[in-house]
Amino acid sequence: MEIVHIDSWEQFVTATSACDGWAFRGLPDADWQLFSSLSRYLHSFVPDRASWRQREERALRIFRRKAHIYLADPNVLVDDIRCLALMQHHGAPTRMLDFTKSPFVAAFFALNNTNRSAAVFALDTPTLWRAAPRHAPGLRREAIDPRVAGNFERYFAPNDQDILWVGEPEAMDRRLVAQSGTFVVPGVLDKPLDAIIGKYGAGPALMRKFVLPPSLRADAMLALYRMNITHATLFPDLDGLARSIGYELEITWPGHRAGGPG
């Protein structure tokens, strides 16, 4: 993984423009590793790694058994990736990692709620779509596609393949569309994403980590606000609107006094 230290918002814009077609993920702490929410949960609370497969299977089974009560179309639960995406959308720990095709959306998630050095990870998805892990050259993206019936159980659920798949469900929800979102699905739960990517072919780094210092946050957040990248637009519902109000507390318009009209 290539690490790039960024000094200004302008430098970030220039640096990420060279990552055409890549996928991005922002983290509010540059020291955090790229683990899925399920991996973080299991690492924190379930030391018995031998049981992780069974625990993930049980979580999926419980969700499928009960979620239909709240759904207009319960058929979404049959498709593994659509079911996982629905779980992810509503806050359940899953093995999927949210990425976005926009470096600016990733920067928003990295910087919005932190005063530490943050990070935006960039994943060379065009190369990964054609690549395969060195130990299993036949496991290219189309071969392991978890949208194909049986493939999630075959390649991902066993939790023993150093592979990853990048893509979206066949049907995307409003939030995924608003965020230009995509998912990364790893084949193992006990390794960070960069360790899995290290199993793929040699050559230029397939991942870059842009480290963003606290000093650029003010310029970056104002630029993102002007680009209409806010919680209200990324989460197109009342919850997103309410969460967007936080940044309004930071904005001061010329000619407006504190306590004056917005």
Q: What is the pLDDT of residue 257?
A: 47
| pLDDT tens digits, one per residue of 177-203 | 776 778 999 999 999 999 999 998 766
| pLDDT tens digits, one per residue of 59-87 | 999 999 999 998 888 888 998 988 998 89
Q: What is the pLDDT of residue 203?
A: 65
Q: What is the pLDDT of residue 116?
A: 94
The residue with tokens 């019936």 is: 149
Residues of the chain short of pLDDT 70, as ranges, are: 171-173, 175-176, 179, 202-203, 252-262
Q: What is the pLDDT of residue 184?
A: 95
Q: What is the pLDDT of residue 84?
A: 92
Q: What is the pLDDT of residue 168?
A: 81
- What's the token pair of residue 66? 């009960």
Q: What is the pLDDT of residue 260?
A: 43
Question: pTM for this structure?
Answer: 0.89
Could you tell me what percentage of the chain is helix, strand and coil, using 3-state DSSP and rounding each to the nearest 5? 45, 15, 40
Q: What is the pLDDT of residue 259?
A: 44
- What's the token pair of residue 157? 């659920």
- What's the token pair of residue 177? 């569309």
Q: What is the pLDDT of residue 258?
A: 44
Task: Using the CB atoms, write b or e for 131-156: b if 16+ within 10 Å.
Answer: bbbeebeebbbeebebeeeebbeebb
CB count in 10 Å sphere of residue 111: 22
Kindly state the DSSP code that residue 133 receives in the 8-state scheme. B
